[in-house]
Amino acid sequence: MAKQYDVLFRLLLLGDSGVGKTCLLCRFTDNQFHPAHISTIGVDFKMKTIEVDGIKVRIQIWDTAGQERYQTITKQYYRRAQGIFLVYDIGSERSYQHIVKWASDVDEYAPDGVQKILIGNKADEEHKRQVAKEQGLQLAREYGMDFYETSACSNLNIKESFTRLTELVLQAHRKELEGLRGPPPRPRLGPPGGGRAAAPGERGQPQRLLVLKPGPPLTPPTPSPRLCWGGGTAGCGIGVVEEGGGGGQRVPGGGG
CA–CA dist 134, 206 (Å, integer): 49
Give 132 or 53, the one with higher predicted confidence. 132
* Model pLDDT for residues 166-198, shown as the tens digit of each residue: 999 999 988 888 766 655 555 555 455 555 444
Tell me: pLDDT of 116 over 90. Answer: yes
pLDDT score for 233 = 37
Cα dihedral 72/38/235/3 (nearest 10):
-150
Q: What is the pLDDT of residue 177?
A: 80
End-to-end CA distance of the chain: 34
The span from the CA of 70 to the CA of 43, in Å, is 9
DSSP reduced 3-state for 56: strand
Q: Alpha helices, DSSP H only, in 110-185?
A: 133-143, 158-172, 174-181
Domains present along the chain, CATH in parentheses: 7-172 (3.40.50.300)
Q: Which of 5-14, 121-130, 227-236 has the lowest mean pLDDT?
A: 227-236
Compute CA distances 13 → 24, 66, 77, 204, whole Å.
9, 10, 11, 40
| pLDDT, position 188 | 53
More confident: 208 or 184: 184
Q: What is the DSSP letter of 225?
A: -
pLDDT for residue 238 is more than 90: no
Whether the pLDDT of residue 117 is over 60: the answer is: yes
The Cα–Cα gap between 150 and 87 comes to 10
Mean confidence (pLDDT) of the chain? 75
d(CA 249, CA 245): 11
Per-residue pLDDT at 51 exceeds 50:
yes
**Range 168-194 burial, b when 16+ CB lie within 10 A, else e:** bbbebbeebbeebeeeeeeeeeeeeee
Lowest mean pLDDT across 30-34, 73-77, 214-218: 214-218
Looking at the chain, the whole-number percentage of residues with pLDDT higher than 70 is: 62
Q: Which residue has the higher pLDDT, 39 or 250?
A: 39
pLDDT at residue 30 is higher than 80: yes
In this prediction the pTM is 0.70
Give backbone dihedrals phi and psi of 111, rounded to 5 degrees, phi first. -70, 155
